[in-house]
Amino acid sequence: MPIKKISKRKREPKKWVTVGEVRAAIFAEQRPSQWRPGQFVFNRASKLYGDDFVRSVGYDPFYKDENIVPFIEALTEALNKSN
């Protein structure tokens, strides 16, 4: 009886996300009119990636809309590190 070679499972390469992909995921839904832009970005990211994870990013756009871009960039970096 021939001996079968057992193939080792190949590891899939890490999937890196881009800032554009994270931004697209966040803005895939329309912002409720009563929410500020930063509030929407924070709440949507919390829904997508988990509240504890999002709060650990360091930038908080909830009350400061000017933190939206740094928040999305830091979130992208954190997501890539967690892979």
The one-digit pLDDT tens for each residue of the chain (83 residues) are 566 666 566 656 668 899 999 999 999 999 999 999 999 999 999 999 999 999 999 889 999 999 999 999 999 999 999 87
- pTM for the structure as a whole: 0.81
Rg over CA atoms, the chain: 18
Instruction: Please give the structure tokens belonging to residue 79.
Output: 């997501």
- Spatial distance between the Cα atoms of 18 and 16, rounded to a whole number of angstroms: 7
